[in-house]
Chain A
Amino acid sequence: MRSLLFCLIVSTFLGCGGPAVPSNILIYGRGDDADRLDPIHTDIGESVTVMCNIYDTLVTYDDETLELVPSLAESWSTSDDGLEWTFHLRKGVTFHDGTPLDADAVLFSLERLTVPMHPFVFDQVIPYVQSFEAIESVTAVDPLTVKVRLKRPFAAFLTTMAMFPASIVSPTAVKKYEGEFWKHPVGTGPFQFDSWNVNQQLTLLSFDDHWRGRPEIDGVIFLPVGESAVRVKQLLRGEIDIADNLPPAEIDSLAKNPHVIVQEKAGMNTGYLTMNNDKAPLDDQRIREAIWCAIDRDQLIKSAYSGHATKAVTLVPPTLWGSHTDLTDREYDPEKAKQLLAAAAADGVPTPIRLQLFVMTDPRPYMQQPRQTAIFIKDSLAKVGIETEIVTNENSQHFRRMTRGEHQLGLAGWTADMPDPDNFLYTLLDLDNINDVGGNNMSRYRNQKVHDLLAQAKVEMNQETRAELYRAAQEQIFADAPLVPLVHTSVRNVQSDAVSGYLLHPSSLNRLRLSKLAK
C-alpha cells in the first residue's frame, strides 16, 4: 500500500506539467548567451541577434534580399564627389524610452563610433572601428537631416550604415546608464529590452509604438542552451520555437519531422584552406596548386557538410555581386597534383613534403565539422604524397596562432560583415592585412597588383566598374592560388511549425519582427 502511494506521488510529481508559457512569446534557443548589448562594443553573433531586434539603423536590408532600403532614414543623397552623404530622417519615430528620434540622436550614435575618446564611450574596445574610419565628421543640419562627411570616397559607405555597429541608440539612455548602457539597451527597434539573467535568459517585449507597427508576437525569450542535442529535444517537446546553430546531421534528421520547418538560404560565407605563403615549401606556387588539385571538394561537401554547401572557386560567394563566376575551376585531379609536385621536386623542393594542418575545435558556420574536414584533407594529400600532421587548437588560439603565421596549412573562413566583395578580398588577401596581432590575411599573400586593384575598387563609386576591378583581382588571386577556397555553406535554421512569418535572411541577421506564433 505504501509503495503504491509512493508511486502515485512520484508519478503525479513527474507528470505534472510546469507552468504554462504565455502562448504569444517566442522562445529562441541558441548555443550561447549575448555578451554586451551596446552595438559599438561587440562582434559576437549572439549579441547581434538580440541587437538587430532592439535597434534600427539609418538604412537596412530588404526583408528577403540584400538590397538596401530606407529604415530610420526615409531617403538619402550623395554629393558628386562621393564625399558628402545627406540622410533625411523619418518623422515621428521614438525610442523605447520615449526620446524622439532626431538628427542629434543620429549624430550622438555615429560619433560614439567615430570620435576618439568620446565622453559617452566608457570602453575603448570597438571591434568594428576600422569599418567606419572613413567618416570625417557628422553634422545635424536640422532636426530631421544629418550630413556625414567622408575623408575619401568610400564605395561601401551606405552598406556600412546598415551594419549593426551603426545602430542608433537613445542618447538619453546612454547618458543615464553611462558605462552600464550595454545592459539597459534602448533603441527604436520592434522589440524593447525587458530583462536579462546572464546565462539563463534574455527577454524582449514588443514595442507598441514601432514605426513599422507592433510585431504580432508579444515578445521573445532567448535561451542559451550549450548542447545542440538538448536544443533538439527542446524543439521537439515544444519548449523552444526556434533552434539556432544546429549541426548538419541534426538538421537533416529534424527535416523529416512533419512538425519541424527547416529554412535554408545561401549564406554569405566562405570556408577555405589557408596556406602560409611565407613558409617553404608553400612559397612555391606549384605546391599550392597541387594541394588545390588534390582535394575533391565535391566529396568534401558530401561528407562534412551533408551536401548543404556549394563548391567555392573564389573567396567571394556567388550570391554577392562582384563574384567572378566565370573562372574555370581547378578540378580534382590527383595526377596533375603529382606532376606539379614532381616538377617542384626536380627544382630542388625537398621531398617527402611534410606539413602541419591547423584545425579549430569548435564548428563555425563555414566549417561545420572541422575535424572531419581536416581528416578528409589529410587523406587527400596523403594520396598525392604529402604527409600532414593535424594540430588542433581551441578556436581563439587557433586563429591567434594562424594570425601570427605559425601554421603551414590551416582551416579558416569568413562570414561577411557586409555584402561587399571588399569585405572578403581586402580583408583576407590584401597585403595591408598581414600583421601578428589582428591581420586576417593569414595566408600572408603579398601581391602589389591585387593590392592596387583592391585600393582602386575601394574608392570607385560606380558599381559596374568596381565589379570589373574585383573580377581582375580574383583572376590574379586564382592564378597565384594563395589559398584553396573550399565551400560556401547554406545558412539553415530550424523552427517548430507553430512559427510562421520568420524569414531567414542571407545576411544571417535574425530579425524576428514578422514572426507569428500559432500555439
Chain B
Amino acid sequence: MWSFLFVRMLQSLATVAVAVVLIFVAIRLLPGNPALARFGQHSVPARVTAEMAHQGWDRPILAQLIDLPGELLRGDLGVSFFHGDQVAERLTETIPATLELSIAAILLAVPLGICAGVASALWRGSWPDYAAMTFALLGVSVPVFFLGICLMTIFTSMPTSGRVAPTMISQFHTDFFLCEAIFTGRFALALDAVRHLLLPAVALATIPAAVISRITRSSMLEVLSSDYLRTAKAKGATLWRIVWRHALPNASVPIVNIAGFQVGMLLSGAVLTETVFNWPGMGRYLVTAVREQDYAVVQGGALVIAAMFVTANLLLDIAYLWLDPRIRTQS
C-alpha cells in the first residue's frame, strides 16, 4: 500500500510539473505580449521592445523555461508585471477567499446531492425521484451567473457582494474572515460573513450537488437490486439501516470519485460565481491575469491550482483504499 501511495505521489508531482510547463509555454504563445498590454493604447514601439528585453521575455521560450525550476525551488513565484505586487502574497489573499467559498459550497453540495440521489433511488419512478432529477437537471443547466442574479432578486435582504460589509473589512487581520471571526469570538462579524457567504455558496453548490445526486442515484439503483440487500430486507432490517449501513457504503466508490473531482474543480476557482458576487477569489484573479498576459501570475496560479487538484485526487485515492478492501488488496 505504501509503495502504491509513493507511486501516486510521484505521478502527482509529474502532473503538476507538466501542467506548469504547458501553461508557461501556452501563455507565451498567445499573440501580443505583456508590455503591449500594459502600455495599452499608448504603446511606443521602442519602449515596448526595451521592456520586453529588460524582463528577459524576448529570449526563446526554452531559455526562459530553464530559469523556472530554480525560481520555483527558491519559493519565488515572481512579481505581477501588471500590478507590481508579489504573486505569492496575492495568492495568500485570494486562496483563503476561494477556500472559504468552496468549502461552504462542498458542505452544501455533498449532503444535498447524496440525500437527493438516495431518495430518488429509493422511490424510483415516484415524485421524490422526479423532483430530485428535475433539480439535478436544473442544477447542471442553469448558468451560474443567472442563478446568482435570481438568488439576489429572491433574497432581497441578503448582501449581494463582497465577503463582509465594506466598513467592517478593516477589523480582520487574516484573509480567513469567517474562521477568524468565529475563533476570536466576534459573532456579529461571523454572522455578517456567513450572510455574505450564503448566496454565492448556494450558487456554486448547484452543479456539484446535481452531478453528485445523479451519480448517487445510479449507483444506489445498482446496489439496491443486489441479493444481499434482499436478504437484509428478509431479515427485517429497517429502511434506514439498509440504506445507510448496507447500500450506501457499497455504492460509495463512484460517489466519492465524482465528489472528489468536483471538490478539485471548486478549489481551482469559481470564476463566474466570484464575478457575480464580487468575491475576491483566485479564479477572478487568474482570469484577469490571463487577459493581461501577466506571466508570473498565470504560472503561479497554474502551479497552485494543479497542486490543489492533484492533492484532491491523491486524497481521493486514499479514500478508495479505505472504502474498498479490494483496491487495498490489489495495490
Contact = CB atoms under 8 A, between A and B. Distances in A.
Nearest to B189: A19
Given A123-B84, A201-B162, A223-B162, A15 B157 contact: yes
A14 B155 contact: yes
A440 B43 CA distance: 9
B192 A18 contact: yes
Contacts of B40: 43-44, 127
A237 interface: yes
B188 A19 contact: yes
A131 to B, nearest CB: 8
A364 to B, nearest CB: 11
A35 interface: yes
Interface in A436-452: 436-438, 440
Contacts, number: 153
Contact of B166 (A221, A229, A437): A221
A87 B40 CA distance: 31
A27 interface: yes
Given A199-B285, A230-B278, A18 B48 contact: no
A426 to B, nearest CB: 13
B165 A43 contact: no
Contact of A199 (B44, B155, B284): B284
B162 A182 contact: no
Given A125-B35, A197-B169, A16 B191 contact: yes
The winner among A35, A197, A233 for most chain B CB atoms within 10 A is A197
Contacts of A182: 84
A152 to B, nearest CB: 18
A155 to B, nearest CB: 20
Interface of B: 31-32, 35-45, 47-51, 54, 82-85, 90, 93-94, 145, 149, 152-153, 155-163, 165-170, 188, 191-192, 195-196, 275-278, 280, 284-285, 291-292
Interface stretch (A253-261, A330-338, A394-402): A394-402
A435 B276 CA distance: 39
A239 B153 CA distance: 14
6 contacts: A41-B84, A198-B280, A199-B278, A225-B161, A229-B149, A233-B160
A201 B169 contact: yes
A413 to B, nearest CB: 10
A496 B311 CA distance: 48
A233 B153 contact: yes
B48 A438 contact: yes
Nearest to B156: A237
Given A223-B162, A239-B160, A438 B45 contact: yes
Interface of A: 13-19, 21-22, 25, 27, 35-36, 41, 43-44, 123-130, 179-180, 182-183, 195, 197-201, 203, 221, 223-227, 229-230, 233-234, 237, 239, 394, 396-397, 399-401, 403, 435-438, 440
B41 A438 contact: yes
The winner among A18, A22, A27, A435 for most chain B CB atoms within 10 A is A18
Contact of B51 (A125, A199, A201, A394): A125
A398 to B, nearest CB: 11
Contacts of A440: 41
Contacts of B45: 435-438
Nearest to A227: B276
Contacts of B82: 35
Contact of A223 (B54, B166, B192, B196): B166
Given A18-B195, A124-B50, 20 more contacts: A14-B155, A18-B196, A36-B84, A41-B84, A130-B42, A197-B280, A201-B169, A203-B170, A223-B161, A223-B166, A230-B160, A233-B153, A237-B160, A239-B161, A396-B292, A397-B31, A400-B32, A403-B43, A437-B48, A438-B36
Contacts of B50: 124
Nearest to A394: B291
Given A397-B32, A438-B42, A224 B167 contact: no
B39 A225 contact: no
Contacts of A397: 31-32
Contacts of A44: 40
A396 B32 contact: yes
A44 B167 CA distance: 25
A183 B85 contact: yes
Nearest to B94: A199
Given A36-B83, A43-B40, A128-B42, A18 B31 contact: no
B166 to A, nearest CB: 5
